Amino acid sequence: MILAALVLLLPASGCLTDPHAAQSADLLDQLSAARGMLAELPPRVASACTLVGTVQTRLYGEPGLTEVRPAWAQLRDASDALQAACGQGTLLAQPSTDTPAVQAARQRWLQGVQREVGVACDHLRAAAGALGRGAPC
């Protein structure tokens, strides 16, 4: 009886999705959502950055995710780029004076946010390809 059950379950287990790949796909979706929030005008910095932080915690803290290659490295790089955009977006959200130096800095930060969102998109596309998913951006 047990042998018959094993014989029936063994082929079916090949159809199950890899839990680490499924988690990675979920993280891809979350990073894509955060990228979208940062790309909005005005960007939703606080919500996006909280989401990026949560994803980074999961990327480094959940066992087995680092084994999903090359998707893990692409997700890590995308989250790093989004974290950089978060820092610059946070600086942009601060009240400031209207001096020429501050205006120039704000322009650089805005360009930095846009650049990092683009870099993140490149990494998200690569991660999506590695996970067999469509391009998220």
What integer pLDDT is reported at residue 35 of this predicted model?
97
Residue 83 lies in a domain: yes
Query: How far is C-alpha 131 from the geometric centre of its chain's CA atoms?
Result: 13
Peptide bond into 42 cis (omega under 30): yes
Residue 67 lies in a domain: yes
Span 5-53, pLDDT tens digits? 445 554 544 555 688 999 999 999 999 999 999 999 888 999 999 999 9
Residue span of the structural domain in which 73 resides: 18-130
Span 44-99, pLDDT tens digits? 999 999 999 999 999 999 888 888 899 999 999 999 999 999 999 999 999 988 89
Residue 3 lies in a domain: no
CA dihedral (48, 81, 112, 30) in degrees, to 10, reads -20
2 pLDDT higher than 70: no
What integer pLDDT is reported at residue 131 of this predicted model?
95
